[in-house]
A and B are shown apart, each in its own frame.
Chain A
Amino acid sequence: MTALSVEDLRVEYHKRRWFRTVSHVAVEAVSFSVEPGRTVGLVGQSGSGKSSIARAVLGLVKPAAGTVTVSGTDTTGRVPATVAATAGKVQAVFQDPTSSLDPRFSIERSVLEPIPGAPSERAAELLDLVGLDRSYLGRRPHQLSGGQRQRVAIARALASTPETIICDEPVSALDVSTQALILQLLRRIQRETGVALLFIGHDLGVMHYISDDLVVLHKGRVEEQGSADDVCLRPRAAYTQALLQASPLPDPALQRERRSRRLHDPAAAAPTVAT
């Protein structure tokens, strides 16, 4: 069964101004599905709507149109019955490792929060799974580094054995050295548990590595959608090509060549420099 499917999603935000309501369409006509054991990546600049999609999937905002189906249950309405049916089936790991854990909770308490009444042994197993020493169980978040906190956040997300985990820029705030470890960890956990991942990010290198399929978003709409290799190595949309050009590669000669090409042909420069 498909772990997560999103069809024709539309998300709007409303702002009250005096006597009228101003609407802003953040996401429009977005569809994709994530199979168990697979990763779908949502990639785009800030303001592309990728986080709005995540929030809609998590039920944190109500879609204006379209459906979100979690483990076979349509959750779009978010009535209490569907909330109960899907509770624990979708979990999330957020970007900011400093705010993702309650500063007053011990690591054990944080990890076990989604599964009340579980024995401490379960917390220890979860730490084993994310490669953290069991001695961390009694510590508090501020005693951990950013990467370690993100591991704890992943352990907590895994506690209720979810079918889908939404990763909203989970490595964007980390050092490159730590980022790769967290990415490897997510891949390994996916191999072992068959969890489906919806991974949100803006770094194409990261997205290419972690994703099976990619959805390239721009201003709330899909620019290109396909297998990660197709999108990154054989991009069709001009927007995707420009994004790829803008991702720096560790090759000074190539980067210099790219820059001189940009200078001579400004049309090939940054896809959109937002104002």
Chain B
Amino acid sequence: MTTVSQPGLMETTAVLETAEPAAGGKRSSAWWRSPSMVVPLLILAFLALATALPGLLATHDPLRQDLTNALSGPSWTHWLGTDEAGRDVWSRLVHGTRVSLLAGAYAAGLAAFIGVPLGMFSGYVVGRFDRIAMRAIDVIMALPGLFLAIAMIAVFGGGLVVAMTAVSLVFVPGFARLSRAEALRLRGQGFVESSRLSGRPRRRILAVHLLPNMATVLLVQFALTLALAILAESGLSLLGFGLEPPDPSWGGMLSQGSRFMARQGWLVVWPGVALTVTVLSINLLSDALQRRFSRSSSVIEDSGPVGAVSPARSVARPSVGLVASDHDTGVPAPDGSGAALAIRGLSIAFPADGGRLVPAVDDVDLAVDQGRVLGLVGESGSGKTLTALAGVGHIPTPGVRTAGQIWVNGTDITSLSGPQLQRLRREEVGFVFQSASSALDPMFTVGNQVDEVLRFGGMSDRKRRRSRAIELLDEVEIADAARRLDDYPAQFSGGMAQRVLIALALANNPRVLIADEPTTALDVAVQQGILDLIRALSDDHGLGVLFVTHDFGVAADLCDDIAVMYAGQIVETSASEPLFADPRHPYTRGLMRALPVVGSNSDPRGIPGRVPAPGTWGAGCRFANRCAMAIEACTAEPVRLLDAGVDRSSRCIRLDDLEPWNPSVETTRTEAS
């Protein structure tokens, strides 16, 4: 079945982010605790010291010759030995640092200075300027760097500055292309467009919005270029185009040393080691920077309701020989026996600072019967996606299940091993994501992706897989199925891609389908088609469906039963019709009143405030601070799910005091303004 390796991560980040609202701006992982950051920084600090104050570290004058002691090996007076003129190698290495680092920094800096503004401007204005500038950049990219440097030295005379200027020219395209790509990405963002609309001068938008937002990426590029430029300097010096002797530079030392390699091998080792260590530490640092920045920017970008992982590609290989071992356990599950999917007392928590576990899902009970659709309704941050994922045995890291059991077709899946879980996801439960276009791998045809799922589902005959794939697309009502199998996901519209995702989830005939807001990103007309399809699958094939949504209109259309979730808890459960006729929890009522309905004579009313973040839940009712009916007793002690009629329950101690349901009456506090 479709398998999930790490979807719902954005939900997790959202949970973790809100778990510590006060510390929102600070990253809890301190950079100085990470060795990949500290070690290169220490080495670079040492190099900086050697550049600034070489006299402090050198033991001898780097130019003083002592021909009586030429080409000696490492000793107490000359730590790294002496060269052909008896000069101290350690001291020359220290003094050479300046040349190597400054030459590298000059080339990388000049390249950035030319490339970044060019690329940024080009990507921002696009059009003709962009086309011409980028072709020019392509021409530069085609030039071989070292030869260009040698040619320039031939024309402009020798010297390190001319050579490194030539080298920097070769690095310009890297910076230009990167900053152009970043500018293209940023120019479409709302904050850049808003800025344009306020009539800000272009120069200012580039300086204020674009440059700072691409700075982190550029910094990494700079570090990488710096390493390459240092190597280029030593290469040029090795060829004799760099610094004139006797002044030391690493490349020059390599070049000189190579002539005496047979008699004193150490001479080439030391500058080689210095170069390698420097380049390595710069690369390590840029890696560490990249990781750090990608993490911090993900906090910004991942809070949207998208993000999923290709289900088809993440299907793991089944271990050969492992045949359904968990059906014959014999003993029916004590609680989940009849239901297609049953969850009992499920609690999921995430570790916070200090190793404390913060609950995000709290004692959730659910049961989905064959042929029925259960709607799980709530706002973002209510824990509904985490609950849905748990239904396929997936708890996003670093979360842990702290209590509870989950049964699929009578099998307790919480005790399954990895391969057993994979089999479960292949064959017993299908999962459908919200964002269909990102859940399909753009590099493979739809046919490939369906085929893969079928193959791992144990269908070995290729022809049969093909006909089954056509059958599946037919089943989800994709017209001209045989031809469309060869299309790529990009050729499918949002609604059609969502149908493909459903087909993938159904490929191996599961008995449970879990869908996480599969229609939220779609138009109403397309949404209607998907809802009709899921309803038909449930009616015709007896599929049990857990359907996550925040829209009570959608829930009314599709669901037989509804569970309303708030701050990690189920707050109301009921069959669909009685729930809409008379909701028995103020939160449910609040959500229903918030829904704008065509032709309704009452205006939609929002619920002020927001879902309390995990870790900030009080002892009693978690909705109390947003509820107009709250009294002191509400927050005094935990509220159990109370009996609220035939097969109904509500987590409200004032449930008997609820007014008769009339959508235009208020139960939530009006917006304070």
Contact = CB atoms under 8 A, between A and B. Distances in A.
Interface of A: 45-46, 58-60, 83-84, 87-88, 90-92, 94, 96, 98-105, 110, 113-115, 131, 139-143, 145-147, 153, 156-157, 160, 173, 175-185, 188, 202-206, 208-209, 232-233, 242-253, 255, 259, 262-263, 269-275
Contacts of A91: 194, 197-198
Given A84-B199, A176-B551, 17 more contacts: A46-B494, A90-B197, A91-B197, A131-B673, A176-B594, A176-B595, A179-B594, A179-B606, A203-B596, A205-B598, A205-B604, A248-B528, A248-B557, A250-B595, A251-B580, A252-B577, A274-B526
Contacts of A142: 17, 24, 299-300, 303
A247 B524 contact: yes
7 contacts: A58-B197, A103-B300, A156-B194, A173-B304, A180-B596, A271-B525, A272-B525
Contacts of B17: 142
B50 interface: no
A272 to B, nearest CB: 7
Contacts of A100: 189-191, 194
Given A58-B197, A146-B303, A249 B525 contact: no
Contact of B556 (A102, A114, A242, A248): A248
B525 A273 contact: yes
Contact of A98 (B304, B528, B535): B304
Given A180-B604, A255-B556, A270-B528, A250 B25 contact: no
B550 interface: yes
B297 A252 contact: no
Pick the most buried of A91, A139, A255: most chain B CB atoms within 10 A of its CB: A255
Nearest to A177: B607
A242 B591 CA distance: 26
B25 A143 contact: yes
Interface residues of B, number: 75
Contact of A246 (B525, B590, B596): B525
B596 A205 contact: yes
A166 to B, nearest CB: 9
A274 B523 CA distance: 10
Contacts of B380: 146, 175
Contact of B596 (A114, A209, A233): A209
Interface in B345-382: 379-380
Contact of B550 (A46, A140, A175, A259): A175
B263 interface: no
Nearest to A202: B523
A83 B299 CA distance: 36
B300 A244 contact: no
Contact of A92 (B193, B606, B671): B193
Query: Which secondary structure characterizes the binding site on chain B?
Result: helix
A58 B196 CA distance: 10
B303 A88 contact: no
B603 interface: yes
Contact of B598 (A58, A181, A182, A204): A204
A196 B557 CA distance: 35
A205 B595 contact: yes
Contacts of A248: 524, 527-528, 531, 551, 553-554, 556-557
B532 A208 contact: no
A46 B523 contact: yes
B550 A246 contact: no
Contacts of A160: 198
A255 B599 contact: no
Pick the most buried of B21, B189, B555, B593: most chain A CB atoms within 10 A of its CB: B189
A91 B191 CA distance: 12
Contacts of B552: 176, 250
B190 A153 contact: yes
Interface string B498-533: 000000000000000000000000011111110110
Contacts of A246: 524-525, 527-528
Pick the most buried of A88, A90, A233, A251: most chain B CB atoms within 10 A of its CB: A251
A243 B672 contact: no
Contacts of B531: 248
A206 B596 contact: yes
Instruction: Report the 6 A-B pairs with minimum CB-CB distance, sorted nearest first.
Output: A87-B199, A181-B606, A100-B190, A205-B596, A114-B198, A180-B606
A263 B529 CA distance: 11
Nearest to A95: B190
B637 to A, nearest CB: 26
Contacts of A206: 596
B556 A250 contact: yes
A184 B590 contact: no
B327 interface: no
Contacts of B523: 45-46, 202
Contact of A250 (B479, B524, B597): B597
A230 B154 CA distance: 81
A205 B527 contact: no
B200 interface: yes
A139 to B, nearest CB: 8
Nearest to A83: B199
Given A176-B591, A183-B596, A273 B529 contact: yes
A142 to B, nearest CB: 5
Contacts of A98: 300-301, 303-304
A92 B197 contact: yes
Given A101-B190, A180-B604, A209-B603, A145 B610 contact: yes
A176 B198 contact: no
A104 B212 contact: yes
B576 interface: yes
